[in-house]
């Protein structure tokens, strides 16, 4: 069972402080997705890749568990009103083709504070098929393999990185794989105000 509440785990702070890079060419679509994350975002850490994979496999369903419809609508309204209009991509694809990240800044530039429209689009997620925990676990194994083979590695020398991540994953499994937050490094360098949406919204927001 996947938790809806925020749970911090030992090693998470350290893992979220170590920036990563991708080395060499991507061998498959999974590695291509990791490489793309480090290309379009700065300061990516393992915690940020965990969040990317969590959202790719499991979508935003934990938000429905945390908040009822009224609270979700108010949360979306406040977050949209609190960001500045910005350039950049309106949406970012997640791995697997089921979900996208809808970026608040570019959305606001195009649609203003139309949170009602965003809420209606987000409501479509309720009709999406729930991802399976086994799907997420499978992606975590691939992420561990990418680290162990050196495809992704720290930008600075961190000889115990693999052992640290292996230890983290054991605790992460014991706690039923709760959602994680983006690292502070990532949030300082990237626009991280977004909402995970079904990929079906793409044609409804673009010409």
- pLDDT digit string, tens, across residues 72-124: 999 999 999 999 999 999 999 999 999 999 999 999 999 999 999 999 999 99
Secondary element (H or E) of residue 153: strand 152-154
pLDDT value of residue 5: 40
Spatial distance between the Cα atoms of 71 and 123, rounded to a whole number of angstroms: 13
Spatial distance between the Cα atoms of 192 and 101, rounded to a whole number of angstroms: 10
Mention every residue, 6+ apart, whose C-beta is less than 8 A from residue 69: none
Half-sphere exposure (Cβ direction) of 58: Cα atoms closer than 13 Å: 27
pLDDT value of residue 9: 58
Q: What is the pLDDT tens value at each position of the chain, 207 positions in all?
A: 233 344 455 668 889 999 999 999 999 999 999 999 999 999 999 999 999 999 999 999 989 888 999 999 999 999 999 999 999 999 999 999 999 999 999 999 999 999 999 999 999 998 888 888 899 999 999 999 999 999 999 998 888 899 999 999 999 999 999 999 999 999 999 988 999 999 999 889 977
Q: Give residue for tokens 């393992």.
A: 46
Using alpha carbons only, what angle is made at residue 27 by residues 136 and 141, rounded to the nearest 5 degrees?
Answer: 25
Residues paired with 198 in a beta bridge:
99
pLDDT value of residue 12: 82
Q: Let me know: does 60 contact 125? Beta carbons within 8 Å.
A: yes
Torsion angle, alpha carbons of 89, 177, 133, 129, to 10? -40
Tell me how far apart the terminal alpha carbons of the chain are, to the nearest angstrom.
39
């Amino acid at each position: 069972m996947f938790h809806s509440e925020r749970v911090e785990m030992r090693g998470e702070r350290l893992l979220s402080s170590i920036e990563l890079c991708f080395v060499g060419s991507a061998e498959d679509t999974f590695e291509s997705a990791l490489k793309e994350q480090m290309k379009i975002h700065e300061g990516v850490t393992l915690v940020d890749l965990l969040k990317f994979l969590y959202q790719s496999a499991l979508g935003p369903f934990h938000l429905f568990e945390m908040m009822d419809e009224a609270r979700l609508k108010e949360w979306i309204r406040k977050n949209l009103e609190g960001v500045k209009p910005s350039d950049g991509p309106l949406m970012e694809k997640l791995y697997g083709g089921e979900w996208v990240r809808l970026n608040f800044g570019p959305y606001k530039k195009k649609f203003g504070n139309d949170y009602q429209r965003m809420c209606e689009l987000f409501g479509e997620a309720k009709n999406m098929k729930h991802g399976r925990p086994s799907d997420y676990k499978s992606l975590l194994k691939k992420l561990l393999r990418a680290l162990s083979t050196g495809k992704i590695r720290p930008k600075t020398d961190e000889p115990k990185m693999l052992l640290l991540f292996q230890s983290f994953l054991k605790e992460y499994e014991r706690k039923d794989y709760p959602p994680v937050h983006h690292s502070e490094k990532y949030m300082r360098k990237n626009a991280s105000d977004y909402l995970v949406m079904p990929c079906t919204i793409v044609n409804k927001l673009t010409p």
